[in-house]
Each structure stands twice: as structure tokens, then as C-alpha cells.
Amino acid sequence: MQVFDTKNPRETFLLGRNLAVGLGAGSCIALVGDLGAGKTALVRGLADGLGADVQMVSSPTYVLVQEYPARDTTLFHLDLYRMVDAQGELEELGMEEMLAGGVVVIEWADRACDALPLERIEIVIEITGENTRRFTIKQIRNFVTVHRKEPRKNTNKHELS
């Protein structure tokens, strides 16, 4: 887990730009934070770092997904804010295809927790002051439970009965 504090939108932009290093096809970034937290501001930095046109980045409030061509990849920018059924919409979008083709960044990701990729970078943004924001960054890896083919040998009689 890493924590970063920014003092203005420019610093948030630069944080996003730094985060872009090391991202590529298959990366998913889940953004969590209130309206005005700086999710879109961070996405601008990500876009810049990936070599996409920053001018194209706006809150995709009325389109579920915006696609920005970048240097070696594509940035898919999603916003679940107005989705009535965010989870269902996200499932229909074809996450696997997007991940195969580029980096996926999702605003209001907490609205569709169960439909997010099992492996992702989660960034929680807190508004700590008028111009200050705290970014808490975590690498999430939720493994699917693999069922054993053979039942585990159990010598505990109480559990066997």
C-alpha cells in the first residue's frame, strides 16, 4: 500500500503520469472517491503518461466508456456514476476484451465491486482540504477459489461424522 498527498490538481496530474509507468495491456485501475475528489484529474495524468491526448479526457458521464489511443496501447476510461445497474453494464462491456487491448481505468469503481477484474490497482481518493487530496494505492489480487478434485483427507472424527 502506498499513500500520496497532493496539494493541487497539477500534483495529482503528475502522480497519474508517474503511475502510468509500468502500466500496459491488462492493467486495471479502480478509482474510488466522492464527486470532485480528483478521479478525472488523475486519469488526465495517466493518459499523458501513456501518450494519449489529454484534451480528450473528460468525465465520461453520459457515455459508459471512452477510448483514448495511446503510444503503445489504448486507454479505456469508464465512469459508473450514473449507471443504474453498474454491475450489469460493466459485465456487458466485455472487460476481458478491453483488458486484452489496453489499460482500463474505472471511476466510481465501488459501484460494481463484484464485476471488477480480480487483479487490479485500487486507488481511494480522500478530500483532505480545499486543494489537498490523499491517494491510497493498493494492489488487489483476489484469487478464485479452486476446488480440490479429491476431498482432503481428514482424520478428525468429529468433522467426518
Cβ–Cβ < 8 Å for 48, 17: yes
Among 19, 27, 30, 38, binds ligand ADP (CB under 6 A): 38
Q: Which residues bind Mg ion (CB under 5 A)?
A: 39-40, 59, 107
Residue whose C-alpha cell reads 489511443 in the numeric block: 69
108 binds ligand ADP (CB under 6 A): no
Q: Which is nearer to ligand ADP, 95 or 105 (CB)?
A: 105
Considering only CA atoms, which of 37, 118, 130 is closest in space to residue 81? Answer: 37
Q: Which is nearer to Mg ion, 20 or 41 (CB)?
A: 41
Min dist. Cβ of residue 42 to ligand ADP (A): 7
Q: How many angstroms separate the CA atoms of 125 and 15, rounded?
A: 12
Min dist. Cβ of residue 30 to ligand ADP (A): 13
Min dist. Cβ of residue 147 to ligand ADP (A): 40
Q: How many angstroms separate the CA atoms of 25 and 106, rounded?
A: 15
Q: How many angstroms separate the CA atoms of 97 and 135, rounded?
A: 28
Residues with Cβ < 8 Å from 94, sequence gap 6 or more? none
Among 24, 36, 88, 94, binds ligand ADP (CB under 6 A): 36
40 binds ligand ADP (CB under 6 A): yes
Which parts of this chain interact with ligand ADP (CB under 6 A)?
Answer: 6-9, 11-12, 33, 35-41, 59, 107, 131-133
